Structure 1
């Protein structure tokens, strides 16, 4: 089993917000370091970045976000990257995911969300903030029925809750059904939408919101 990553590099302007994030991660025993280094001049082959999570803010156009992620991947191969959104910018989120980012979080998310995001990615998983997902849903996904057209009404309820970050057990509790029934609905949803898992369901929703 892969050992969790402990090293975290944060590329952002020095500020109270980012200094606080650095201190928070250090308190959680991550070897976090904040730097205002320019992405364009960083030597990504530098061994300092070996086995590290890279965090940076979405304070640049969507195309540049994708280019920065691609630049890191070209130099280092697959690398765990977290994008921190400063606004509800679904295009930036989608650009980052499409380019290979492992995590998306909003700078207004609470400290627990930031720590959870980094922990999950350190374990080799992907993580998208519930606030980012909810913002995508709240922009009117229900107005675009093409995505959910193949699903039954119950399957749409399950899909909405899963996409909003609910666990299987929480969905079961909210919809007053057994967890096993939720899993059956999920299996049918993934089959009908031709996707493998809930991560792809979230991506599908973000793509739908970006198109509209």
Structure 2
């Protein structure tokens, strides 16, 4: 897979190293000359320039890339790049970093963003996930209005002992996995639920309240 990353700060370089370890092809685009350090990620292709400039993206051949990651420290730049990658270059998947949580509402498909990653929100979600029982916690926003959400069943849940097929899930909700102790369970129709299970769902945002109500019954 070919991945273009805008922003070669600590975040961009870390993402690049991880992708290279997984044998993907990576291009790093960086505007600040003092951040351009090919020795820090020697296996990546480096481009010095502004990732919001159409001519630079054309020269870099952005249309050849499968994924664009807008990882700069500037939300405006990340939005502009996301829009250009989608509308001008037809990139299939765009992931954008959200620096200021107040701007998160902008990072959606209207700006060409498939997945928005907000570090403050993710950290808060992980804290909530660790201490919340019986409530729905949104872990990540996926593309087209879907979210990865988690619900931990209380020890006294009325669902204990019932098979997964008895969950009358709302439309546009899928149970992805069950975390039980150190086990990761791919749910089958006859698998029984237990108190303390962590249920991971992919759910459309508009049905999250229905899902919450179902689990709380």
When the two chains are superposed, the root-mean-square deviation of aligned CA atoms in Å is 4.1
Question: Normalising by structure 1, what TM-score?
Answer: 0.50
- 1:95 correspondence with 2:80: no
- 1:181 correspondence with 2:172: no
Query: What runs of 5+ residues in structure 1 fail to find an aligned partner?
Result: 1-5, 109-129, 139-156, 191-196, 206-212
Go from structure 1 to structure 2 and tell me whether the alpha carbon gap of 1:15 and 1:70 turns closer, same or farther (over 3 Å shift).
Answer: closer
**Per-residue CA distance 1:102-145 (angstroms, 9 max, x = gap):** 2222458xxxxxxxxxxxxxxxxxxxxx827838x89xxxxxxx
Q: Is the 8 A contact 1:172 1:178 kept in 2?
A: no
Go from structure 1 to structure 2 and tell me whether the alpha carbon gap of 1:78 and 1:28 turns closer, same or farther (over 3 Å shift).
Answer: closer
Aligned length: 145
Q: Is the 8 A contact 1:57 1:86 kept in 2?
A: no
CA distance in 2 between partners of 1:17 and 1:58 (Å): 8
CA distance in 1 between partners of 2:65 and 2:207 (Å): 26
Partner residue of 2:52 out of 12, 23, 40: 40
- Larger Rg computed on CA atoms: 2
- 1:57 correspondence with 2:103: no
Q: Which has the higher strand share?
A: 2
Q: Shift of the alpha carbon at 1:75?
A: 0.8
The equivalent residue for 2:90 is 77
Go from structure 1 to structure 2 and tell me whether the alpha carbon gap of 1:61 and 1:94 turns closer, same or farther (over 3 Å shift).
Answer: same
- 1:201 correspondence with 2:201: no
Q: Which has the higher helix share?
A: 1
Q: Secondary structure of 2:88's partner?
A: helix
**Per-residue CA distance 1:37-65 (angstroms, 9 max, x = gap):** 31232434453541421111263355x54
Instruction: Tell me which of the two structures has the higher relative contact order, counting C-alpha pairs closer than 8 angstroms and 6 or more residues apart.
Output: 1
CA distance in 2 between partners of 1:34 and 1:21 (Å): 10
What does 1:1-212 correspond to in 2, within 5 Å? 6-12=1-7, 14-36=8-30, 37-43=49-55, 44-46=57-59, 47-57=61-71, 59-61=73-75, 65-77=78-90, 79-87=92-100, 89=101, 91-98=102-109, 99-107=111-119, 131=122, 134=125, 160-161=136-137, 163-164=138-139, 165-166=148-149, 176=160, 177-182=162-167, 184-187=168-171, 198-201=202-205
CA distance in 2 between partners of 1:131 and 1:51 (Å): 27
CA distance in 2 between partners of 1:30 and 1:11 (Å): 16
